[in-house]
Chain A
């Protein structure tokens, strides 16, 4: 990256930081996904929880090669 005079500039994190400095609101309970719906895409489910493979049993997947131009 080219050198840029940062002395006169300030940090800009997002375009709304002047208009919307804070977006807090009151907590309120609303309907949500059921546990079954939340687990629909899990690769394994047991007793209402995600099932994840043990670390040593996760097979190594090949890293895709960068295409040659």
Chain B
């Protein structure tokens, strides 16, 4: 079967795609680190000539006139985009249910939630349609669905990968994430993508840091971070909703033709974000600093930290548990690299030690 036929079959079983790129075979490349490797991109990455909906009615017919930097870099490395993956609307959600194009099904068990918001990216990798997929991770949106679907999900250090052309949700937290069937493919994709980009002033790439051998690694549990995790999730909500309210103001109804085209979850977050007071924001920024210092303290003893990806396994389909981001939001607030493994373990590294995190998972 061709990559497109495999993608169509995956779509019929899980609704993991919003758009399948019918011209993918024509764009097949034979050179580069990812020559001929098919991949999916979450539908919040701009793709020139291919519609980019963010799973929202507001952008139902939006065809970007340019591609995100990550899409261009993957194409230059020979990878072939087979489809735009389903997601929670504007990447807001932890279950895949808020998509205007219908929920994604978990390929492991359709009765269970696939997680979110990168639900389609995780499902497409888990069902074997593509070996890797791009997602976006603001508070856990790559790690949590990867775990629920039984694959690897990596959130790099904040600033490692360009976000130019990725539709903004919460700018101080958003990162490009990589979901892969194994750690090796994530390493290859990270090497292709992690480089400074003049189009994104927050992108610094990854410095070259020696990787410690496995036996020399000190791995521990960050008790100080875990103690703060409930406060962290509240701080995460205040900051991300306030930033979302600002970022989504651009869909004002004039340029995209809809005034009220957002679904209920996006509206809820915008309205809560607009209601945040300066005192709440200051408190949230203080908690963010406390989380950062708790991580610094833990990293004075350890090279890597472990914690669960999620408070529980995948809930029943259609259920979004409260505190779903409790163990993923801390690394987002501190901008640290974090890998979710299929067994539910999360490995967190020091900032810019992304390759160390991946090397440790390989064992």
Task: Kindly state whether residue A19 has any CB partner on chain B within 8 Å.
Answer: yes
Is A41 within 8 A of B254, CB to CB? no
User: Which of A10, A20, A33, A41 contacts B202, CB < 8 Å?
Assistant: A20
Q: Tell me the minimal C-beta distance from A60 to chain B in angstroms.
A: 8
Q: Tell me the minimal C-beta distance from B326 to chain A in angstroms.
A: 14
The digit string for B288-311, where 1 denotes a CB below 8 A from any CB of A, is 111011000000000000000000
Q: In the complex, which residues of chain A have a beta carbon less than 8 angstroms from the beta carbon of B28?
A: none
Is A11 within 8 A of B286, CB to CB? yes
Is B285 within 8 A of A20, CB to CB? no
Is A58 within 8 A of B253, CB to CB? yes
Is A61 within 8 A of B260, CB to CB? yes
The digit string for A51-66, where 1 denotes a CB below 8 A from any CB of B, is 0100000101111111
User: Which of B234, B289, B333 contacts A1, CB < 8 Å?
Assistant: B234
Number of interface residues of A (CB under 8 A): 34
What's the Cα separation between A18 and B47 when bound, in Å? 33
Q: In the complex, which residues of chain A have a beta carbon less than 8 angstroms from the beta carbon of B238?
A: 1
* Majority DSSP secondary structure for residues of B touching A: loop
Residues of chain A from 9 to 57 with CB closer than 8 A to chain B in the complex: 9-16, 19-20, 23, 25, 33, 37-38, 40-43, 50, 52
User: Which of B201, B234, B255, B351 contacts A15, CB < 8 Å?
Assistant: B351
Task: Kindly state whether residue B274 has any CB partner on chain A within 8 Å.
Answer: no
What's the Cα separation between A14 and B287 when bound, in Å? 12
Is A64 within 8 A of B267, CB to CB? yes
- The answer to whether A4 and B290 touch (CB under 8 A), given A40-B63, A64-B267, is yes
- The answer to whether A4 and B65 touch (CB under 8 A), given A9-B286, A15-B159, A61-B258, is no
Interface range, B side: 35 or more
What's the Cα separation between A58 and B252 when bound, in Å? 12
Q: In the complex, which residues of chain A have a beta carbon less than 8 angstroms from the beta carbon of B35?
A: none
Is A12 within 8 A of B292, CB to CB? yes
Is A33 within 8 A of B66, CB to CB? yes
What's the Cα separation between A61 and B334 when bound, in Å? 40
Is B159 within 8 A of A50, CB to CB? no
Task: Kindly state whether residue B204 has any CB partner on chain A within 8 Å.
Answer: yes
Shortest Cβ distance from A3 into B: residue = B283
What's the Cα separation between A2 and B237 when bound, in Å? 13
Is B286 within 8 A of A6, CB to CB? yes
What's the Cα separation between A66 and B201 when bound, in Å? 38
User: Which of A11, A16, A37 contacts B65, CB < 8 Å?
Assistant: A37
Task: Kindly state whether residue B313 has any CB partner on chain A within 8 Å.
Answer: no
A sample of 18 more A-B contacts (CB under 8 A), given A9-B289, A13-B172, A20-B159, is A1-B283, A2-B231, A4-B283, A11-B289, A12-B285, A12-B286, A14-B158, A14-B171, A14-B335, A15-B292, A15-B336, A25-B201, A37-B65, A40-B65, A41-B63, A50-B255, A64-B264, A64-B267
Could you tell me which B residues sit within 8 Å of A by CB distance? 61-63, 65-66, 157-159, 171-172, 198, 201-202, 204, 230-231, 234-235, 238, 253-264, 267-268, 280, 282-290, 292-293, 333-336, 351
